[in-house]
Structure 1
């Protein structure tokens, strides 16, 4: 591992997590490096457009170069590209917003967002990340990961975003078993109060879980019957069709055969 590259990546992550930006001294402290080293890294990143310095406060923030890199990733992300039509169709069928996400360490990254088709003002969530344990998308992915990786996730301390966030690993493990059995996951106000989601895993040509697709919206609409059952059916059917579009073998992953039971 190249130490300078790793430090630069950690520095970008610290800046991404801080809205107001950070100064050289604070960045050096957080990374455990000398102030001159932090300053040299920042100057290099600034020259490449990856960070920018506020002339008034002297604080550094993420730069426009990161947006270019992020857009390049999205344009070449196969699951996102393949999901565009399927997500729009699911949004129209469920009359709810649809998110597509991929795993990102112990979180999920939203790579596509199809707006709810009612004309209401909505905020684009592409690029948002959520802890895997607090959303249906994350649980749909985690349930079908290889056993060792799934156990790693369950061994970590679950974050708390709302009073409904689940913090008991045993409860999360049981939820994942149920997801693997029925083929879809449910979230009930675990990421944000009043919001809910239903998501299903999407598999690639190798049979591995590539991400998840799901509906998100107000809990009183998404999880109220009979809408909840209709949404679950629609989400799972869409995920299966999207998986086939990615080349996944028929039946891959569902019923726990390729997910929970895999060592």
Structure 2
């Protein structure tokens, strides 16, 4: 009996799954879209997609433009999205994903947000590769001398960054800042490249023998929520652009951002 129930749950409801693909196709379009394009993206025939769209219109999940006959998401879909955002904690989601990544890779993973003194550690997940980082919640990364700091420099306004660098340089407790602090012009030329690549790396800086890679976490509207930084031994953590682990970290950041409601521009997606 229990086995039959589990098997039924595993099967699911195929029509709902097809309907979800149709809604995803409309959402991915981002604007009014034709029936044939919805069907193509969802992997169904137009004749199969049409009855779903009729029902979705009745439920206000989809609306149809009278002049063009094209479709877009309706007001109830917006209500569902807003409800999701209200109940979603991006930092908790980031923490859950970071913990799994640390366990799977044996490397340490750190979550940072923008604080009073710059990029501030809020969560640390130690890996098992025996790299000692001495990082803890409340630790502040240098904006110019760390991979994490450079992610914030690349994705926040210049005025904000320059003021924060000035404050870090004038800090009377420099020991709480991880990494050397230099002038903004020392990294200015690198920032467009970091934005385009979607990540920043360092080796043996600020921690000797340790490589770090940091990627941004965005939320709805493209606002920077924080950064996820992966730390490992320079001998085993390959941070070359073509390295598989680099792709893994980027995918991790993208997955967290997607759960927070962020949609990457089509060119970068």
TM-score (structure 1 length as normaliser) = 0.56
Q: Which residue of 1 aligns with 2:61?
A: none
For CA contacts below 8 A with separation 6 or more, give which structure has more relative contact order. 1
Confirm or deny: 8 A CA contact 2:111 2:124 kept in the other structure: yes
Q: Which residue in 2 is equivalent to 1:245?
A: 259
Question: Any unmatched runs of 5+ in structure 1?
Answer: 1-76, 256-263
**TM-score, with length taken from structure 2:** 0.55
Asked if structure 1 preserves the Cα contact closer than 8 Å seen for 2:94 and 2:111, the reply is yes
**Counterpart Cα distance in 1 of 2:255 and 2:110:** 16
Aligned partner of residue 248 in structure 1, secondary structure? coil
**d(CA) in 2 for partners of 1:93, 1:223:** 16
- Please state how far the C-alpha of 1:179 moved relative to its aligned partner: 0.7
> Residue 221 of structure 1: SS of its match in structure 2?
coil
- What's the secondary structure of 1:235's corresponding residue? helix
Corresponding residue to 1:177 among 181, 192, 196:
192
For 1:168 and 1:80, locate their aligned partners in 2 and report how far apart those are by CA, in whole Å.
30
Structure of higher CA gyration radius: 2
Structure 1 residue 218 corresponds to structure 2 residue 233 = yes
Partner of 1:186: 201
How many correspondences in the alignment?
Answer: 177
Q: 203, 207, 211: which is aligned to 1:196?
A: 211
What is residue 80 of structure 1 aligned with on the other side?
A: 91
Distance 1:158 1:122, change over 3 A: closer
List alignment gaps of at least 5 residues for structure 2: 1-87
Deviation at 1:85, TM superposition (A): 2.0
In 2, Cα distance between the equivalents of 1:176 and 1:158?
Answer: 20
| Structure 1 match to 2:110 | 99
Aligned residue runs from structure 1 range 1-263, under 5 A: 78-117=89-128, 125-153=136-164, 165=180, 167-223=182-238, 229-251=243-265
Partner in structure 2 of residue 31 of structure 1: none
More moved, 207-216 vs 124-133: 124-133
Q: CA deviation at 1:94?
A: 3.5
Pairwise CA RMSD of aligned residues? 3.5
Q: Once the two structures are superposed, what CA deviation does each residue of 1:18-69 show, in whole Å capped at 9, x if it has no partner?
A: xxxxxxxxxxxxxxxxxxxxxxxxxxxxxxxxxxxxxxxxxxxxxxxxxxxx
CA distance in 2 between partners of 1:179 and 1:99 (Å): 19
190-199 or 114-123: which moved more? 114-123
Distance 1:184 1:231, change over 3 A: same
Secondary structure of 2:221's aligned partner: coil
